[in-house]
Amino acid sequence: MGAEIVKLLWEWDPERITDLTRLCIKIDTHPEGWKTAKGIAIPKPKPDYRQVRVHRVIALLDSLGKLVEKTAAHLIADPLERGWKLREGQYGYRRRRSIR
């Protein structure tokens, strides 16, 4: 399901999407249809486009699947951040932290 459809559903009935996300996390499931991805080949700036390595493939995932994954990540990370369970020097996968 595309992002535009999810936005329309959110405007129409945000509780339904919230309940669906909570239920997926509660019963520990990720629907099979949300795990599929569409692969898009993006050419790199190389002179010979006949070679396979001159393309980079990105995966476009289902929007509802990304929503459930992002929600689960926040549910895991938030208590760790608030409880200071992570080392101060850890930057990977943490919000508002960068080594740059």
**Residues 69 and 93 sit within 8 Å (Cβ to Cβ):** no
Q: State residue 46's pLDDT score.
A: 66
**Residues 83 and 39 sit within 8 Å (Cβ to Cβ):** no
- Give the chain's domain count: 1
Question: Is 88 domain-assigned?
Answer: no
Question: Is 49 domain-assigned?
Answer: no
Q: Mean pLDDT, to the nearest integer, of 14-19?
A: 88
Question: Is pLDDT at 27 greater than 80 in this prediction?
Answer: yes
Q: State residue 100's pLDDT score.
A: 58
Report pTM: 0.59
Question: Is pLDDT at 94 greater than 70 in this prediction?
Answer: no
Domain extent for 68: 3-35+62-82
Instruction: Calculate the average pLDDT of the chain.
Output: 78
Q: State residue 57's pLDDT score.
A: 83
Phi, psi (degrees; rounded to nearest 5) at 13: -155, 80
Distance CA(24)–CA(57), nearest Å, equals 29
Phi, psi (degrees; rounded to nearest 5) at 70: -65, -40
